[in-house]
Amino acid sequence: MKLLETPRPSQPQTEYPEHTLLTPGPTPIHPRAMKALTRPMLGHMDEEVFKLNRAIQADLREMYGTAPGAFTALLAGTGSLGMEAGFANLVEQGDEVLICANGSFGRRMAEMAARYGANVRLVTAPLGEAINPSDVADQLGDAQMVAVVHGETSTGVLNPVPEIAEIVRRSGALLTVDAVTTAGMEPFEMQAWGVDYVYTGAQKCLSAPPGLAPVAISERAFARFAARRQPTPLWYCDFEGLRGYWLEQTYHHTVPVNLHFAFAEALRAALEEGLPERAARVRMMGAAITTALAPLGFSPYVRREQDRLPTVLALRLPEGLDDAAVRKELRKREISITGGLGPTAGLIWRLGLMGEAARPAPYRMLMSALEDILNAPGLVKRFEAALER
Ligand code: PLP
């Protein structure tokens, strides 16, 4: 019998069009991550993969500003799994949980915490405004956990996590932070702020493929987990199982090794560029885009400057602009941007400035297309001039 050879594709098999992806996630994949994706597959229990995992853990400690030796890991799922794992491991039936909910993702947290048995109370803020830390202080009561979204993607609002953390720390409650639109681009100081559980999604500020949720877990959070009356109902992300694989190299489930390859490269590239440099890059890009579009009637949606999330630029649309029609025209030209969500649909655009999206080249493409679609001569020139400043 003749054994069949694995067919080797003659490349390239298909030509795909270039696409300019400027949504608030996913973001364009970093070239180093793209290359790493094509590495030959290794087993999830291979010594080389464990070595790579240890490097990822060290780099995550740096990205999140954790205590030395703090536990970090990748969950095999998107940012929502990072969110769910926190509540599944750290909340039990009847726990009091205070959730800062000033947008869709804060509300998602509340829904998840309730499903894991928490008595959820909400701290809210008007749409487009940040959570007021004194409202957290007023409503803290005997909460065992406080949860907050650092950057609320649905409205482009940055919540004041360091100030909220200071209040929570004094109370002894655990603090969970969603850093999905901030970690890797904005400063994050887990240890200095006193955060107990933090997560992001690989496809956001790090420009890695979707499918991994990098997390960091404090000692206090592990102590709370150890004191559970019942095991967590979410077997897949049980903290003990995670610790087994990431610290003791024991099998728990088959991790997506090729995503680890890509993620490790993307994270390394971010740290080599420097987190302060990345934060400065985002601000420079946001300012140039806002300046270029202002004469057309676009204006910042978030009223107070300190409440604006640099990585998701929320711009109010000019009177009379047909949001859906313009975005459809852009999509025909292989450019994707995102509109508002729920109450802000048709009212705003949300331009992604995370990871590789926050570069002049893709925004040049957008400005050039808009100059044409909106018949707005001078837009590209204004953008170039603003970049120079
Ligand atoms: N939290 C925030 C702030 C987000 O922006 C998102 C996704 O956009 C999520 C959580 C959920 O992440 P995912 O869609 O990767 O599950």
> Which domains does the chain possess?
20-24+274-387 (3.90.1150.10), 31-272 (3.40.640.10)
What is the C-alpha separation between 297 and 60, in angstroms, rounded?
Answer: 41
Q: Whose CA is nearest to atom 2 of ligand 1?
A: 180
Burial class (CB in 10 A: 0-12, 13-18, 19+), 202: buried
> What is the number of H-type helices and E-type strands within the chain?
14, 15
The mean per-residue pLDDT over the stretch 112-120 comes to: 98
* 109 Cα–ligand 1 center, Å: 11
Distance between CA atoms of residues 270 and 291, nearest Å: 27
Nearest CA to ligand 1 atom 7: 79
Q: Which two tokens stand for residue 224?
A: 């709370």
Percent residues over pLDDT 90 in the chain = 95
Confirm whether pTM is higher than 0.95.
yes
**Probe target for ligand 1 pocket from 81, 131, 154, 180, with the most ligand atoms within 8 Å of CB:** 180
pLDDT band for position 4 (cuts 50, 70, 90): confident
Query: Where residue 11 falls among pLDDT bands split at 50, 70, 90?
Result: low
CA 387 to each of CA 21, 27, 31, 271, 279: distance values in angstroms, whole numbers, following the listed order? 20, 21, 24, 24, 16
pLDDT tens digits along 143-198: 999 999 999 999 999 999 999 999 999 999 999 999 999 999 998 999 999 999 99
Split at pLDDT 50, 70, 90, the class of 15 is confident
Residue 281 marked ligand-binding? no
218 pLDDT band, cuts 50/70/90, is: very high
Please tell me the distance between residue 26's alpha carbon and the centre of ligand 1 in angstroms.
10
Asked whether the predicted pLDDT for residue 373 surpasses 90, the reply is yes
Instruction: Pick 358 or 342 by higher pLDDT.
Output: 358
What is the CA(207)–ligand 1 centre distance, in A?
14
User: Looking at ligand 1, which atom is closest to the CA of residue 83?
Assistant: 10
Ligand 1 center to residue 266 CA distance, Å?
19
Q: Ligand 1 centroid vs 373 CA: distance in angstroms?
A: 31
Q: What is the SS3 assignment for 197?
A: strand
Q: Which atom of ligand 1 is nearest to the CA of 81?
A: 16
The mean pLDDT of 235-259, rounded to a whole number, is: 98
Ligand 1 atom with the shortest distance to the CA of 213: 15
Q: Measuring from each residue's beta carbon to the nearest atom of ligand 1, which residues come in under 6 Å?
A: 25, 78-80, 83, 105, 149, 153, 178, 180-181, 201
pLDDT score at 7:
65
Task: Say how far apart CA 373 and CA 229 lie, in whole Å.
Answer: 60
Atom of ligand 1 nearest to the CA of 80: 16
